[in-house]
Amino acid sequence: MEQDIVAKFNAVVKPEDTVWHLGDFAMNEVVVPKVLPKLLGHHKLVSGNHDKCHPKHKKWEAAKNRYLSYGFEEVVVSAEVHPFKLCHVPYGDERYGCLYSLPDTGAWLLCGHVHGAWKVKGKMINVGVDVWNMAPVSLETLIALKDSTII
């Protein structure tokens, strides 16, 4: 499965591309330094609940430094890439405390966490690889999806 994901990833990502991973990069941290160097592009991580660098974990700050040493250029809990907000969890998911989910301000949100439950829900787009043929999705595709969605 790992080889398949790496192949699908590298088929759509160019070396100069910036890729935002929206959490749960690997269920086990030992996988991160083995897989990340195989992936093309520049990598930024919005940490998810299964990433040891997520603030819900003890010693998350030390883990964040390790994730940066593995090759992530940035490790955050949320971010913005116009026209989207980025967070691992969707709006309204309070299971990990409001610190880790963003307030719904009406802005479009890219998230993961929900796996195959849905692709578009209101103004949220699930960018988990399990709903995108196990590959990253381009910003252009996400903007087109946002623009074609009737709410």
63-109 residue pLDDT tens: 999 999 999 999 999 999 999 999 999 998 766 555 578 889 999 99
Residue 96: per-residue pLDDT: 56
Residue 117: per-residue pLDDT: 81
* Whether the predicted pLDDT of 58 surpasses 60: yes
Q: At 14, which CATH number? A: 3.60.21.10
């074609």: which residue's tokens?
A: 148
* Termini Cα distance of the chain: 36
Give the total number of structural domains in the chain.
1
Q: Which residues contact 42 (CB under 8 A, 6 or more apart)?
A: 16, 17, 18, 19, 73
Mean pLDDT, residues 38-50 taken together: 96
Residue 84: per-residue pLDDT: 98
Cβ density class 67-76: b for 16+ within 10 Å, e for less: beebebeebe
* Whether the predicted pLDDT of 44 surpasses 60: yes
CA distances to 14, 50, 77, 142 from 56, rounded to whole Å, are: 33, 9, 10, 29
Higher pLDDT, 117 or 104: 104
DSSP code for 3 = H
Percent of all residues in the chain with a pLDDT value above 70, rounded to a whole number: 96
Percent of all residues in the chain with a pLDDT value above 90, rounded to a whole number: 84
What is the extent of the structural domain holding 137? 2-148
Q: How far is CA 141 from the centre of its chain?
A: 16
- Here the tokens at position 44 are 């930024």
